[in-house]
Chain A
Amino acid sequence: MFKTLTARAIVPVSVAVTGFVVVCCLLLYSTMKNDLMNDAIRCETSMADMVIKSTRYAMSRSDRDMLRNIIDNVGDQKGIEHLRIFNNKGVIMFSRNHPEVNRLVDKKASGCVGCHAGPVPATTLGPMEQARRFVNEWGTEVIAITAPIYNSPSCSSAECHFHNQAQMVLGTLDIGLSAAPLEQTLSIMRKRMLIFSIMVLILTVGGVAALLRRQVFLPLQEITEFASNVKRGNLTQKLSGTYGELTELADSVRTVASSFGKAVQEDTKPGEGNTAVQADVP
């Protein structure tokens, strides 16, 4: 396979271009996936903040019906897989999924362990640490975020009920969005990158191969054929169609062929060959 000049010229170019394009695409895909994921988490964080702010008034009034209504309405939106609020003991107080209300949340679950890893739970986490990705019981991939509901002077001094001023976190809002749109975007991006890579590869490798064939291999093949014909004794064939550095090689072959032709002609002239032999004879 590697004995021909064509293979020797094309293989390194193909390997180098293919490999580099693949590395570029993989790194680009990984970076873009990371960026899209971060965007999704940022979007979810702001959504969680919005829900917390919209429920603040109902919370300070201890209006549970209004709170339940807000959670149900927001949770019914397309793409929201779960929305719940649990208190600082881990009991789910409000949820879009009504059967899970008043149940205890497992603190070792993927979304909780981030804060509850140590003996004292963490009270502040960055948005990326609050996020988690898992497959829920309905088989849907979910990107979820837990946002703490912090105590504020309006909460601790409310008339209807009050929390201890020292209690920093009153509860947690847990919101989970379906990862399907993100996966769909990534899938489209993968396909586009694959098509783009194949097109780049075909263009590069095909272009190099076509140019080499036209500029180098075909003229070289003609010179080789010409030399073979000379070797077989066919001295009348013409050599044309060479350019660049190959012209020099073609000229050399042509000169050798014409010298050889002249020598053959002189040798075949009647009587001359014999006279030379006779001259040597004493």
Chain B
Amino acid sequence: METSPVRPETENAMGNDSPELRPTQGDSAPSHPVPRDNETIVRLKTKASRGLFAMALFIALSIGAIRDFDFLPTLPPRVHALLGHPPSVNLISPVLLLYSFSAIILILSRMMSGSGVSSSFTHVAYLAGFYFFYHFSGAMEENFWAVFAAGVTILALDSYHVWTYCTEEIKKEQEILEEIARKNHREDRSED
């Protein structure tokens, strides 16, 4: 049976030092270190919303793709010649299928292992690549919705995974902070 590695008690779930051990700021700091809820929790909250930014970026990219990037300047023939022939649709589509499958499996395995790693923006870059390949192959109209569905699925799963992970970590951090606050309160009362 697999066992999770035991973390030292001075570390929280994110591997940071317990707020008790963090240095206090300035001379005006109270005798008992006041837990700083800000840094880690704010960082986790920012991380939790990163998936939404990736999704927004992907939707903006998709709006351009549905218009077949007509707002972009056409490439000069020299650049076209340099790039060579675009890959055929029969090659791009299986690669998209393979990519979607492996991306979903990767995110599900991260969910299973409880890892907080997110790669939303990398996925947006991959999906942009597919849009551009279809654009250069002249098959954007037929394949736009496939790339869009793949993108929405992958980014939604990734966002959900990161959001649940960060929510759990924030909860753990808050529990630690509450515990420290209770401890400080007890010590203050005993000194009185």
Contacts and interface: CB of A to CB of B under 8 A. Distances in A.
Q: Which of A12, A23, A26, A27: most chain B Cβ within 10 A?
A: A23
B150 A23 contact: yes
Nearest to A11: B160
A130 B145 CA distance: 28
A19 B157 contact: yes
A34 B108 contact: no
Given A16-B157, A27-B97, 4 more contacts: A19-B149, A19-B156, A20-B153, A34-B89
B104 A19 contact: yes
Contacts of B157: 12, 15-16, 19
Interface string A235-260: 00000000000000000000000000
12 contacts: A12-B161, A15-B157, A15-B160, A16-B157, A19-B104, A19-B157, A20-B100, A20-B153, A22-B149, A27-B146, A31-B89, A31-B93
Which bracket fits the contact residues of B?
A: 20 to 34
Contact of B146 (A2, A12, A30): A30
Nearest to A22: B149
Nearest to A30: B142
Contacts of A22: 149, 153
B39 to A, nearest CB: 25
Interface in A5-27: 8, 11-12, 15-16, 18-20, 22-24, 26-27
Contacts of B149: 19, 22-23, 26
Contacts of B170: none
Interface residues of A, number: 18
Nearest to A245: B1
Interface in A96-120: none
A23 B144 CA distance: 11
B111 A12 contact: yes
Contacts, number: 62
Contacts of B89: 30-31, 34
Interface in B134-192: 139, 142-143, 145-146, 149-150, 152-154, 156-157, 160-161, 164
B126 interface: no
Contacts of B111: 12
A8 B160 CA distance: 10
Contact of B153 (A2, A8, A18, A31): A18
B90 to A, nearest CB: 7
Interface string B99-113: 011001001100100
A12 B161 CA distance: 8
Contacts of B139: 30
Contacts of A8: 164
A23 B96 contact: yes
A12 B160 contact: yes
A279 to B, nearest CB: 30
Given A11-B160, A12-B157, A19 B152 contact: yes
B164 A27 contact: no
Contacts of A26: 143, 145-146, 149
A68 interface: no
